[in-house]
Amino acid sequence: MTVPTPEIEKRDLAREYRRLLRGAEHSKSPEDRKRIRKAWELAVEAHKDMRRRSGEAYIFHPVAVARICSEEMGLDTTSIVCSLLHDTVEDTWVTLDDIERIFGKRERVIIDGLTKISGIFDAAQSAQAENFRKMLLSLSNDIRVILIKIADRLHNMRTLDSMKREKQLKIAGETDFMYAPLAHRLGLYAIKSELEDLSLRYRQPEQYAEIEQKLRKTKAVRTRFINSFAAPIKEALDKEGLKFSIKGRPKSIASIWNKMQKQRVSFEDIYDIFAIRIILDTPPEQEKSDAWRTYSVVTDFYPPNPDRLRDWISIPKANGYESLHTTVMSPTGKWVEVQIRSERMDELAEKGYAAHWRYKGQRADNRLDQWIGQIREVIEGGEDSALEFVDELKLDLFNEEVYVFTPNGDLIVLGKGATALDFAFRVHTQVGQKCIGAKVNKKLVPIGHVLQSGDQVEILTSRKQKPKEDWVNMVATASARSKIRAALREDRQKLAAEGKSALRKQFKTLGIDFIQANIEALTHRVRLDSPAEMFVRLADGRLVLDEFPHHEVRGGRLHFIRKAAEPAPDKESETPVAQSPKKGEALVLGVDKQSLDYTMAACCRPIPGDDVFGFVTVSGGIKIHRSACPNATQLLSKYGYRVLKARWAGQKERSESRATATILFSGVDDIGLVNHISGIISADMSVDMRKVSFETNAGSFEGRIEVVVNDTEHLGELLDRLRDVPGVSTVDRLED
């Protein structure tokens, strides 16, 4: 860790402050500059003795966050002030009262929302999930809380190199799980893409570097293609008298990686590595007509794919995104995505709702207000678990959308997969609770019917209907699920009150005092988790207590007599039981004399050489997962406190145990191809095969082989040999 001299640090700090002022385009007045200066001086004083893990003065972090808010989001003076002070209340002597006295109530509200929850968290909870919930509680008061928090996370991700590996994995997992979807939902496309890319860079560094290198190598080819493709379009648009610019933009690395995994194709097989964007300089009243004029020009030269037309100008996405997308066939036989939008739409697409301040000087349109209202409903639904809350909310963050209509023709936007029951709860809570069915396009359907864009929906209700347990699995939106659970809890509370009253009467008849000790003794006897559960079962008839076996009453106290040894209740411990290495030490894998109990996770089946981490399970010891495991993001973001460092033993100390891996093939079917592949595996490479399966279809084949290898180097050599086989087009290790 290198610490710069005070003179250099002072000079760098002054330079950063000047950059902050230059980038604050909406804070040019003397009053704005005075407020920023006051916040700057307070932040510098409060953080003067603090340093980041990289060694630099801590004050550089809040300054960087403030610059992201002003330059990359276009936020106002209040946002810059709160960015500079966002860590002062949590980490320094500055209090919320100080903030309110010096700056005002609005700044206090925002910084309070940004301040992490202090105190001790339940062992089964994620502190980060609690922080996330608290942050969203402030959303309805001021959306700048969320925007500043996203900027804070973005800078942390940009400077993650100085952190330890296990910390990098935890923060990257949280980012991918919570912050990238939130940025997406707020329309912060550029920031969302960067958060996903940075998360992938730390979770799967080799794959990230490989795609980055291929994008760099193919940049010149893409540039020539874009210039050739755009040339006739430019000439025609000039004749139309339109002002415009054309640029090509590659997909984010994370987006390319996700598509490779989802479609199981190589980098070279993805046709939409980049999109061509046509940005029109046109007044708002002509945006729509000029976009369609441009579409007509593009399709005059290149035939469009009719299934790939997306009109988000007529009906913008819920996050405010507006654009006209089409996919056309180029002269070289490649599909090319073309995006057509105005300059205003382009800025909104990059900076989302944050950019509305640039155009309106106020909060974004009513669709944002509607979404904030839905979040408030989820929060007020009273979910007991912060993790459950995050899971529910995440349903609405990263979901595609369907557009449906009421009988009167009003448009309602729901997440993809939403059902008639989701629609009913979106109309009104009471309509949802009384829903018995629906008419979709005049045809009767059940409440679990999945809606499609363009459907017209009429809800049927009955006064006798009430929410049921299985409704929770019939809905796809967080707000509907939250409302259903709230109604179920209310019914449960009524049942519990009835059961408690009935037990009180029974205790009185038997001469038993109705006190907590007696209630808990009975709860333990009937092997239930809580007295509330016992009360509910007594009320709904699932538990009948005509008499208490093997009991006696002494002085009003209830005592049960054990006739013989009874087995303990079959219930898992609520806290992890596996022994962990000492703090700072890594779990060493592949050594015979290993004192800690661990097993390889079945979901990703690590082999020696894989980048891995340990996870302490509730009752199954320690599970070893690959950092590329499909479950890694969720485990690292939700349960970071249960993650252990793990590394493979060196070759000398490693035991002779070997590991299994599954290889996927595809290619052109040919006589003797299977024998050729199996010969390389078993004869040339001396690798054992456990399972083999091949399927052929219309001249192509797909195969799957489970092999036993020493480590990732051994597996890599095998994959390289198989890729050289004539007729084989793809060879990959199965990721999950």
Q: Which domains does the chain have, with CATH numbers?
A: 6-211 (1.10.3210.10), 218-360 (3.30.460.10), 399-469 (3.10.20.30), 487-560 (no CATH), 587-648 (no CATH), 659-733 (3.30.70.260)
Angle 509-513-516 (CA atoms, 0-180°, nearest 5)? Answer: 130
Structure tokens at 660: 């299994």
pLDDT digits (tens, 9 = 90+) for 355-366: 654 444 444 455
State the pairing for strand pair 688-697/643-648: unpaired
Ranges 285-289, 392-396, 708-712: which has the least confidence: 392-396
Residue 390: predicted pLDDT: 57
Query: In this predicted structure, what is the pLDDT of residue 3?
Result: 60
Mean pLDDT is lowest, of 31-45, 53-67, 491-505, 640-654, for 640-654
Q: Binning pLDDT at 50, 70 and 90, where does residue 119 land? A: very low
**Selection from 330, 125, 314, 313 nearest residue 229 by Cα:** 330
Lowest mean pLDDT among 301-310, 344-353, 513-522, 569-578: 569-578
Strand partners, 246: 278
Burial of 443 per CB tally in 10 Å (0-12, 13-18, 19+)? exposed
Over the stretch 590-615, which tens digit does the pLDDT of each residue have?
665 455 678 888 888 888 888 888 88
What is the reported pLDDT for 44? Answer: 93
Contact between 148 and 86 (Cβ < 8 Å): yes
Cα gap 194→253, rounded to integer Å: 9
387-445 pLDDT tens trace: 555 555 555 555 677 888 899 888 888 888 899 999 999 999 999 999 999 999 989 99
374 — pLDDT class (breaks 50, 70, 90): low
Give me the pLDDT at residue 389, please: 56
Q: How much is the CA Rg of the chain, to the nearest whole Å?
A: 30
pTM of the model: 0.69
pLDDT digit string, tens, across residues 556-590: 777 766 554 444 444 433 444 444 555 556 777 76
Hey, what are 508's tokens? 């009185």
Angstrom distance (rounded) from CA 249 to CA 273: 9
8-state DSSP, 568: P
Q: Which residue has the tokens 């004029």?
A: 293
The DSSP code sequence of 305-322 is: -GGG-EETTTS--TT---
φ and ψ of 639, to 5 deg: -125, 45
Bridge partners, residue 522, by sequence: none
> Pick the residue with more confidence: 375 or 730?
730
Mean per-residue pLDDT over the chain, rounded: 81
Q: What is the pLDDT of residue 571?
A: 40
CB neighbourhood size of 5 (10 A):
8
Helix (H) / strand (E) element for 278: namely strand 274-280
Give tens-digit pLDDT for 188-203: 888 999 999 999 999 9
Contacts of 527 (CB under 8 A, 6+ apart): 569
The number of beta carbons lying within 10 Å of the beta carbon of residue 86 is: 26
pLDDT digits (tens, 9 = 90+) for 485-512: 888 888 888 888 988 888 888 888 878 8
Q: Is the dihedral of CA 108, 113, 116, 118 positive or negative?
A: positive
> How far apart, in whole angstroms, are the C-alpha atoms of residue 606 and residue 608?
7
Which residue's structure tokens are 């290619």? 667
Percent of residues, the chain, with pLDDT higher than 70? 81
Residues marked active site are found at 90-91
Q: Is the pLDDT higher at 202 or at 115?
A: 202
Mapped onto helix, strand or coil, the DSSP state of residue 541 is coil
DSSP-H helix ranges across 567-696: 632-638, 673-679
- Taking alpha carbons only, the member of 357, 312, 412 closest to residue 144 is 357
Instruction: Summarize the confidence of residues 465-477 as an average pLDDT.
Output: 88
Backbone φ and ψ of 174, nearest 5°: -60, -40
Q: What is the largest CA-CA distance in the chain?
A: 100
